[in-house]
């Protein structure tokens, strides 16, 4: 019996796969747990349409991420913090500070997208911003005395 997997099934396949399974396995286990659909021509066509929509959406998201990465390229953010002697900061530059600096440039980024080493001194530092799978941008952060 041919079925379309609605969800990932360990040992069988991933959601969206069309698989051939034993009739008893399908009727007694897969259908009652709502894990599969019967692989009719209309269900297969609907699955293909859904895959095309998902691919189209992913392509748009990737394109948007690439454009955003270009806008971030070469951008230097300025963050002002209180510092003591020896150019050491009182505290550190947080992801909130970086998000606020980006907002001043009218760029919206979530905190969880930013990856940086602890910044505890004045001067120039870098932070990586993950925008999409495999697409990230690096921004310079200039920390100045307040």
Write the burial class of residue 73 (CB in 10 Å: 0-12 exposed, 13-18 middle, 19+ buried).
exposed
Count of domains for the chain: 2
Question: Is the confidence at residue 146, as pLDDT, over 90?
Answer: no
CB 26 within 8 A of CB 3: yes
Whether residue 82 sits in one domain with residue 38: no
Chain segment 75-97, per-residue pLDDT in tens: 999 999 999 988 899 999 999 99
Whether residue 112 sits in one domain with residue 86: yes
Q: Find how far residue 100's CA is from the centre of its chain.
A: 20
Question: pTM surpassing 0.85?
Answer: no
Whether residue 97 sits in one domain with residue 39: no
Whether residue 74 sits in one domain with residue 55: no
Chain segment 47-67, per-residue pLDDT in tens: 999 999 999 999 999 999 999
């Amino acid at each position: 019996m041919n079925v379309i997997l609605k969800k990932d099934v360990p040992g069988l396949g991933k959601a969206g796969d069309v698989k051939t399974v034993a009739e008893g396995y399908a009727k007694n286990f897969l259908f009652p747990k709502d894990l599969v659909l019967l692989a009719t021509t209309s269900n297969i066509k609907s699955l293909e349409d859904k895959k095309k929509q998902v691919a189209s959406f992913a392509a748009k998201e990737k394109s948007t991420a690439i454009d955003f990465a270009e806008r971030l390229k070469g951008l230097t953010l300025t963050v002002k913090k209180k510092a003591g002697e020896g150019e050491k900061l009182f505290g550190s530059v947080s992801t909130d500070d970086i998000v606020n600096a980006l907002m001043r440039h009218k760029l919206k980024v979530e905190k969880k997208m930013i990856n940086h080493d602890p910044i505890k001194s004045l001067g120039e530092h870098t932070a990586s911003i993950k925008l999409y799978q495999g697409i990230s941008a690096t921004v310079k952060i200039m920390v100045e005395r307040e």
